[in-house]
Structure 1
Amino acid sequence: MAHDHADLHDPETDPLATYVLEPDDVRSLLARVVARPGHSTASSSAPFTGAPVAAVPLTVPADLPEAARRARAAQRLWAARPGRERAAVLLRVHDLLLERQSEVLDLLQVETGKARTHAWEEVGDAANTARYYALRARRFLSPRSVRALTGPFSSARVLRHPVGVVGIVTPWNYPLALGLGDSLTALVAGNAVLLRADPQTALTLLWCAELLEDAGLPEDLLQVVVGGPDVGMALLEHVDHAGFTGSTRSGRVFAGRAGELGVPVTLELGGKNAMYVAEDVDVEAAAEGAVRACFGSAGQLCASIERIYVHEQVREAFVAELVRRTAALRLGSGLDYRSDMGSLVGPAQLARVVEHVEDAVGHGATVLVGGEQRPDLGPYFYEPTVLADVPPAARAYREETFGPVVAVYPVASDDEAVAALNDSELGLVAAVWTRSSARGAALAARVRAGAVSVNDTHHLLWGSVGVPLGGVGASGYGRRHGREGLWETTWTQAVVAQRGVHTGRGLGMRQVHELGTEVWPRVLTRLLQVERSLRLP
């Protein structure tokens, strides 16, 4: 699938898709979409050039019942297989993903417009997730013994079962990290997956479905449906749990429908994420971290930092270093590692970024660096931008921009910084920079965000797969990653048993009740008192 890379800006060359995809490869991938022949299509385009990539068949709600039926049939067999066999598939996914990374890196760049370094972060993340759950899932899913009411005279166990069919609605910006990563978690728990892909990045997820099949995943266990909100909402009628990643507004509509149907959901929604730079930092290190946190994937990720609060004692030095490093970033569309930042995904995203910057400037903000479109590089390129003096009336002050734009604000103390970080209905991620580990830990604990990094960016948070991640407030609920993320797609069953009930031995609940209605409350009262004195849980 991967081929030599031509000059993307040579007007004599064919559209971008022709040098990274063979027509037969595209047809093979598109044949995997859950859609009956003759359905309408959506044309995806390459952000780097605006050239068409593929006419992607669209799934309609009427296609879903049959897909769900096949998924349930496959899931029953899959759940019955030993956990080690499911884990082995994930290990093969890990190996194949790294072996074939050049193929999917091309696809990711073509469909998302991100720089190759940022595309590789998705590959590395998905491989990391596959390995983690392959090696840990069996332990996380194992039956757990707990103490029963009558101690040694009874037993209690907690079992975990897969919910059945999991629907995953994944956005266009991180198809591999979110779409494949969340699917692997659900699959290793014993579920089937109906994965809704955005038409813009459908080829990447269809490539993932092909990879899973090559790794040994049974047929029909993961099926890719392609469409917009109508398909995502319709999916709720056919699944036992759903995961949704997207905007807060869309997530609330999704959750409302899920509530009507009684389907539990996991939501990761928007973020207006903030970073605090204390006065004791290494300014160069903090500025470099800020650049990574603000401009990865051109700022088109929900964990991107869009607000930076800098202690007034280092504000001038930090801002100067931030501006210098931002201005030095290399923008480009090459399918190689020479660019530091790529393109926005399309015209709607570009319009939002332009509107936020122009609105901020109109309200008195200052552009310290960037603030310009770059049509010389491609139709949707926008310079990484640092703003100062953004007032509360500006849209960029509170609304998520979802682009390469960050605003810098001065603060005079830790207390003022924490108050500013928490001044948002959104609470996804945050960052704190200080030389003192103790100070960093104390500040992090005061921040209202689902995850906080100290002296690093969201990369460390996201890459630590054992750490549960998710938002608070308008940023959603539920968690991905860690054992908590795995447990999202399971249900618990309690199994409690008496010992010796048929032999007359022991102090089971039957024997207690046989003491009589006046005696057994006294016996249980004494039992509770003894357990309290022995500090038994």
Structure 2
Amino acid sequence: MREYGLFIDGQEVPASHSMKSLNPYNGQPWAIVPDGTEEEVDHAVAAARRAFDTGPWGRMTAQQRGALMRSLADIIKRDAEELARIESTDNGKLYREMLGQWQYLPEYYYYYAGMADKLQGDTVPSDRPNFFIYTRREALGVVGAITPWNSPMLLLTFKLAPGLAAGCTFVVKPSEHTSVSTLEFAKRMTEAGFPDGVFNVVTGMGHVGAALVKHPGVDKIAFTGATETGKVIAAGAARNLTRVSLELGGKSPNIVFEDADLDVAANGVIAGIFGATGQTCMAGSRLLVQESVHDELLERIVGRTREIRLGDPMAAETEMGPVANQPQLDKVQEYLEVALKDGAKVACGGKLDPMLGGLFVQPTVLIDVTNDMRIAREEVFGPILSVIRFKDEADAVRIANDTRFGLAAAVWTQNVHRAHRVAHQLRAGTVWINAYRVVSYATPFGGYKESGIGRENGMDAIREYTETKSVYVELTGQPRDPFTLG
């Protein structure tokens, strides 16, 4: 049994309250983590504030920050296997997927380390001959990062890497279900040489996140999670006019046209919904398929879905692990019941796995779904694929955009004109063509509509962690009429 304290001001701090973290594969507690208090949030924010305002971090050059980030990337690369095992144990996702994430994470820190010393302002042509005007991009300040349980460190890195490059400090509240990898990561931050207070972790239940959101010492909240929670966070942050970036839910359409390579498309559909047990914000949970190839594609998908191997996330042969926690399993079961009442039919799956039990649910394909059903309109965050027919291109675009979400979408076609034409019409932050579930540190990621505010990754992300300051320099040094502007 591993036991952890909070991480505040560069050191592990004993917790006043604690809770158990459960392994979703076997249901057994495997770690004890803190359940933080409002006072402990205060201490963490104060440490981050000191580090930003008066500590050595605030005096570092951009080049020095970049060097620390490269050191951190090297440490992540060294410890990727251990950290992947920890994360897989905590959230039940496949070890090989977690290992792939951890092996890729250093690239984020290398990328933003290189960007740290390229944050520059502009000289502005002045409309007054006696003024020289320029702008500066300055770090926003203290960031409160609230992360989910499905990919804790990948989704924290989306925030942390650009934020560190900009010069911000952090207080992180990970999900109460998956706190261990973030606490382990904090030790690596110290090893890499980051000054005390730059990175702080306060774990716990929802009251910890609420305390962070309302804290007047926090300059920005960066959140990934459910849309309804994001709305609550945005409202709470508004009381102090705290800036927010929100990466929220999705009900993403995976659109297959009749001219698509159906074997390739079937693999993409499977990856888009059953990868990570469907527990990803970008899950392709709505399959829109043209009527003329509906039956043929469905046969391929159902056949492959029935072969998906459920089991121990650590085993190399496992293709899908358990749902991450009991509340999420209950939610998945509830949506299945609602879908059947609304008229959907089960083509395969649809039950808890009778062999494995526990938190395992069979990968499920639902047919005869219409876009007005709840199963097609609300985010399930589980391994349920809703299959919806469409007639033609205009019908596909209409159905795809008929949602309050707009995080991602995919288009499967061999017609290059159609591919781009449809991609341009889809109201989604990311559109894949003949692919699904691909992200990059260099490419902006975020949503339209109720899928969020702001962008993560790429050059867009670092702007989310900076302020623009305009500086006017009077050139003549001569006294001017105090009652005349300029």
Q: 1:233 aligns with which of 210, 224, 243?
A: 210
- 2:174 is equivalent to residue 174 of structure 1: no
CA distance in structure 1 between the aligned counterparts of 2:75 and 2:416, rounded to whole angstroms: 39
Q: Distance in 2 between matches of 1:337 and 1:132?
A: 31
Whether 1:480 and 2:459 are equivalent positions in the alignment is no
Give the whole-Å Cα distance in 1 for the aligned partners of 2:371 and 2:206. 32
Matched, 1:313 2:292: yes
Alpha-carbon distance change, 143 to 320 in structure 1, aligned in 2, over 3 angstroms:
same
- Equivalent in the alignment of 1:470: 446
| Structure-1 separation of matches of 2:237 and 2:363 | 38
Q: Once the 2 structures are TM-superposed, how far is the Cα of residue 273 of structure 1 from its aligned partner? A: 1.0
- Post-superposition CA distance 1:471-523 (Å, at most 9, x none): 12111211111122111111110123354x2499xxxxx8xx99xx9xx9xxx
Distance 1:144 1:293 in 2: 42
Q: 1:472 to 1:181 in 2, by over 3 A?
A: closer
Partner of 1:12: none
Is residue 130–residue 181 contact of structure 1 (8 Å, CA) maintained in 2?
A: no
RMSD value, Cα: 2.3
Q: Deviations over 1:119-148 (max 9, x none)?
A: 124314422211211122322x12223333
| Distance in 1 between residues matched to 2:352 and 2:332, nearest whole Å | 10
Q: 1:271 to 1:334 in 2, by over 3 A?
A: closer
Matched, 1:32 2:2: no
Counterpart of 1:59 in structure 2 is 36
2:19 maps to: 42
The whole-number CA distance in structure 2 between the counterparts of 1:135 and 1:85 is: 11
Question: What secondary structure does 2:179 align onto?
Answer: helix
Larger mean CA deviation between 85-94 and 102-111 belongs to 85-94
1:193 maps to 2:170: yes
Question: 2:412 maps to what in 1?
Answer: 433
**Matches of 2:365 and 2:24, distance apart in 1:** 23
Q: Note the alpha carbon deviations across 1:226-246, whole angstroms, 9 max, x for none.
A: 122221121131311111111
Which of 374, 377, 401 pairs up with 1:395? Answer: 374
Alignment of 1:258-407 (within 5 A): 258-391=237-370, 394-407=373-386
CA distance in structure 2 between the aligned counterparts of 1:393 and 1:411, rounded to whole angstroms: 14
Counterparts of 1:143-162 in structure 2, within 5 Å, are 143-150=121-128, 154-162=131-139
Corresponding residue pairs, total: 479
Note if contact 1:126-1:181 (Cα within 8 Å) is conserved in structure 2: no
Picking from 411, 429, 435, the partner of 1:456 is 435
Indicate yes or no: 2:89 matched with 1:110: yes
> One-letter code of the match for 1:101?
A
State the TM-score, normalizing by the size of structure 1.
0.84
Could you report, residue by residue, the CA deviation over 1:381-413 in whole angstroms, capped at 9, with x for unpaired residues? 111111111245643121111001111111111
- Is the partner of 2:336 in helix, strand or coil? helix
Amino acid at match of 1:283: L
Distance verdict in 2 for CA 1:438–1:211, change over 3 Å: farther
Q: Which has the higher Rg, Structure 1 or Structure 2?
A: 1
Tell me the TM-score normalised to structure 2 length: 0.93
2:120 is matched with which residue? 142
Secondary structure of the residue aligned to 1:305 is: coil
Residue 69, structure 1, aligned to residue 46, structure 2: yes
Q: Distance in 1 between matches of 2:15 and 2:143?
A: 27
- Deviation track 1:193-216 (CA, whole Å, cap 9, x = no partner) reads 000012211111011111111122
CA distance in 1, matches of 2:339, 2:70: 48
Judge conservation of contact 1:155–1:498 (CA < 8 Å) in 2: yes
Equivalent positions of 1:74-89 (< 5 A) are 74-76=51-53, 77-89=56-68
- 1:247-276 per-position Cα deviation (integer Å, ceiling 9, x unaligned): 111111111111111101111111111111
Q: CA deviation at 1:299?
A: 0.6
Measured after TM superposition, the shift of residue 154 of structure 1 is 4.8
Give the whole-Å Cα distance in 2 for the aligned partners of 1:52 and 1:226: 16
The equivalent of 1:531 in structure 2 is: none
2: CA distance, partners of 1:184 / 1:252: 25
Distance 1:467 1:153 in 2: 42
Structure 1 residues 397-448: Cα deviation after superposition (integer angstroms, max 9, x where no partner): 2111100111111111111001001011111111111113332122111111
CA distance in 2 between partners of 1:395 and 1:80 (Å): 53
Shift of 1:153: 6.7
1:123/1:437 Cα in 2 relative to 1: closer, same or farther (>3 Å)? Answer: farther
Q: Is the 8 A contact 1:60 1:231 kept in 2?
A: yes
Structure 1 unaligned regions, length at least 5: 1-22, 505-509, 521-537
Counterparts of 1:346 and 1:488 in 2: how far apart (Å)?
32
2:141 is matched with: 164
> How big is the shift at 1:375?
4.7
The separation in 1 between residues aligned to 2:189 and 2:345, in whole angstroms, is 49
Listed one character per residue, the Cα deviations across residues 439-461 of structure 1 (whole Å, up to 9, x for unaligned) are 212211111112211111121xx
Q: Per the alignment, do residues 180 and 375 of structure 1 end up closer, same or farther by CA in structure 2, a change over 3 Å counting?
A: farther
Is the alpha carbon distance of 1:329 and 1:153 closer, same or farther for their aligned partners in structure 2, counting shifts above 3 Å? Answer: farther
1:103 Cα deviation from its structure 2 partner: 0.6
Does the aligned pair in 2 maintain the 1:360–1:395 contact within 8 Å? yes
Query: What SS class does the counterpart of residue 261 from structure 1 fall into?
Result: coil
* Cα distance in 2, alignment partners of residues 372 and 68 from structure 1: 45
